[in-house]
């Protein structure tokens, strides 16, 4: 099992002028390019050896929706090796950012940025996909510029992927309880985790794109098979955007689902619009489009994948297998999915010194998947949805439907601890669970700790404690 991490950190100006404007980041990317990194519009990366066909065999730094500096490590077998990478990349980044007067925070919400239109357009990272979502689909999106997450990544065996995603969907609320570090400072802590609601609030709830609500937070019903997961991705809401080899990103104004796009294309292809200039073009479904069909699902856990090279015949084989389901579908996926990884998305950005705790938790659960699945299925799916909602506002030392949250958290961490032992690197990895055990001992998540600082010393105290 290989692991990796994507760590988002709010970026702020040390002179007190607020969040970082997009042009400031461009100077950092230029400095990295001068040091031999490959520059792109939103960051820079450098490739590393890729003997196992990883989706991303590179180290990268970038910005996503706004003034959030993201560091992505390359996959490694051990969490300790990820720690080494993250420490190196963060140190390199802090040195370059300091030359621009920029600091980074280990916090899940940007303390100097609010969800207003004015602030959004001033500080956002300009991307055509975001413009399309706002203009065509009615997404608000402004809540996205201020929230930062830690995304843990673990590679999976294809047959295990549905069970892995079911576990992470069911346990997402427990992750929020334990890993929240994104309180609502503006309203004196009435919300202990603002990130889940920010995702829900930025998609429409009515009209043509009301189905987009399935793209965020958690599914209404459990996803426990490849059939149900692919249906969620491909056939539950209008298709998002696609890239083409020669014409860049496009969208289809007819807004079919992805499955309808694949199976019901008009002769000569679909009428499409280019994202860059709005020009018309035609797009014919291709096997390569499968590689782009995973990321528009932005729930609290998702699968990312890389498909083996295929052609029109392969696409026809997929259609047949998907319609048949069962062994036919599983066999087809096992043969044609080159790589599948789990990306967990329920943990907020971690406080300094605790960055790898959530990765240890995810890796341990995946290494002990049968026990994690038994634990997750012990309660009905609706109970876990209630847990996820409660995690946004209730203290860790509370109950949901009469069940003690702390007891559930302790069992989850214990299952993960056994999983880390099974990985065979316990002497290196068990220590990364220590921050979680401290949180359980004191019944306090990082959000409660940050709010205590805020109430006694204001935002200055929070920034001093959480700055790198």
Among 55, 56, 52, 62, residue whose Cα is nearest residue 25 = 62
Average pLDDT, the chain: 95
DSSP 14-54: TTTTEEPPHHHHHHHHHHHHHTTPEEETTEEEEE---TT--
The domain spans of the chain are: 3-240+296-466
* pLDDT of the residue at 61: 98
Mean pLDDT of 207-223: 96
DSSP 58-102: EEEEEE-SSSEEEEEPPPBSSHHHHHHHHHHHHHHHHHHHHTTTE
Residues in the chain: 468
* pLDDT of the residue at 245: 44
The pLDDT tens digits for 260-279 are: 999 999 999 999 999 888 89
The pLDDT tens digits for 287-302 are: 999 999 999 999 999 9
Output the CA angle 447-458-195, nearest 5 degrees: 30
* pLDDT of the residue at 64: 85
* pLDDT of the residue at 187: 83
Residue 189: is its pLDDT beyond 80? no
The pLDDT tens digits for 376-389 are: 999 999 999 999 99
**Distance between alpha carbon 414 and the CA centroid of its chain, in Å?**
24
Mean pLDDT of 404-418: 98
Residue 4 structure tokens? 């990796």
* pLDDT of the residue at 246: 45
DSSP 312-333: HHHHHHHHHHHHH-HHHHHHHH
Residue 405 structure tokens? 């949250």
The pLDDT tens digits for 225-265 are: 999 999 999 999 999 999 754 457 899 999 999 999 999 99
* CATH architecture of the domain covering 3-240+296-466: 2-Layer Sandwich (3.30)
Q: For residues 64 and 176, what is the distance between their CA atoms, to the nearest angstrom?
A: 21
Residue 114: is its pLDDT beyond 80? yes
Residue 160 structure tokens? 């295990």
Residue 457 neighbours by CB distance under 10 Å: 13
Among 19, 28, 26, 21, residue whose Cα is nearest residue 93 = 28
Residue 369 neighbours by CB distance under 10 Å: 17
How far CA 416 is from CA of 166, 428, 431, 443, in Å, comes to 16, 14, 12, 19
Phi, psi of 207 (to 5 degrees): 90, -165
Report the DSSP pairing between strands 216-217 and 298-299.
Answer: parallel
Residue 30: is its pLDDT beyond 90? yes
Residue 318: is its pLDDT beyond 90? yes
Residue 230 structure tokens? 């692919």
* pLDDT of the residue at 57: 83
Among 335, 326, 361, 331, residue whose Cα is nearest residue 346 = 361
* pLDDT of the residue at 55: 67
* pLDDT of the residue at 50: 74
* pLDDT of the residue at 190: 82
* pLDDT of the residue at 376: 98
**Could you tell me what percent of the chain has a pLDDT over 70?**
97
Contact (Cβ atoms closer than 8 angstroms) between residue 9 and residue 104? yes
* pLDDT of the residue at 49: 82
Q: For residues 67 and 63, what is the distance between their CA atoms, to the nearest angstrom?
A: 7
The pLDDT tens digits for 155-172 are: 999 999 999 999 999 999
Residue 416: is its pLDDT beyond 60? yes
Phi, psi of 262 (to 5 degrees): -70, -40
């Amino acid at each position: 099992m290989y692991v990796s991490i994507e760590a988002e950190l709010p970026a702020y100006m040390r002179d007190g002028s607020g969040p970082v404007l997009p042009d400031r980041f461009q100077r950092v990317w230029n400095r990295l390019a001068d040091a031999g990194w490959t520059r792109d519009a939103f960051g820079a990366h450098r490739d590393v050896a890729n003997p196992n066909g990883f989706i991303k065999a590179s180290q990268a730094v970038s910005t996503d929706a706004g003034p959030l500096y993201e560091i992505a490590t390359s996959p490694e077998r051990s969490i300790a090796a990820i720690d080494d990478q993250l420490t190196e990349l963060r140190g390199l980044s802090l040195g370059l950012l300091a030359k621009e007067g920029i600091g980074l925070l280990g916090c899940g919400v940007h303390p100097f940025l609010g969800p207003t239109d004015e602030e959004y357009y001033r500080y956002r990272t300009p991307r055509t996909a975001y413009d399309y979502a706002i203009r065509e689909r009615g997404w608000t999106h402004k809540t996205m510029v201020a929230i930062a997450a830690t995304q843990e990544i673990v590679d999976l065996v294809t047959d295990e992927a549905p069970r892995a995603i079911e576990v992470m969907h069911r346990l997402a609320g427990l992750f929020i309880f334990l890993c929240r570090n994104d309180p609502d400072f503006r309203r004196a802590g009435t919300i202990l985790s603002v990130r889940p609601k920010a995702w829900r609030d930025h998609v429409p709830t009515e009209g043509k794109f009301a189905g987009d609500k399935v793209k965020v937070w958690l599914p209404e019903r459990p996803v426990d098979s490849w059939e149900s997961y692919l249906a969620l991705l491909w056939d539950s809401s209008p298709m998002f955007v696609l890239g083409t080899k020669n014409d860049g990103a496009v969208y289809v104004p007819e807004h079919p689902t992805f499955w309808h796009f694949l199976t019901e294309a008009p002769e000569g292809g679909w009428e499409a619009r280019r994202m860059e200039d709005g020009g018309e073009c035609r797009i014919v479904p291709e096997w390569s489009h499968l590689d782009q069909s995973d990321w528009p699902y932005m729930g609290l856990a998702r699968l990312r994948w890389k498909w083996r090279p295929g052609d029109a015949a392969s696409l026809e084989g997929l259609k047949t297998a998907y319609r048949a389901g069962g062994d036919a579908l599983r066999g087809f996926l096992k043969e044609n999915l080159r790589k599948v990884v789990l990306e967990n998305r329920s943990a907020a950005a971690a406080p300094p010194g605790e960055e790898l705790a959530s990765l240890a938790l995810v890796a341990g659960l995946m290494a002990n998947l049968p026990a994690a699945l038994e634990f997750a299925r012990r309660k009905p799916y609706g109970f876990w949805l209630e847990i996820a909602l409660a995690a946004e506002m209730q203290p860790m030392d509370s109950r949901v439907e009469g069940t003690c949250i702390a007891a559930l958290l302790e069992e989850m961490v214990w299952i993960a601890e056994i999983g880390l032992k099974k990985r065979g690197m316990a002497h290196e990895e068990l220590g990364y669970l220590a921050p979680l055990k401290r949180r359980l001992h004191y019944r306090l998540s990082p959000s409660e700790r940050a709010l205590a600082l805020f109430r006694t010393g204001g935002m200055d105290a929070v920034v001093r404690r959480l700055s790198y």
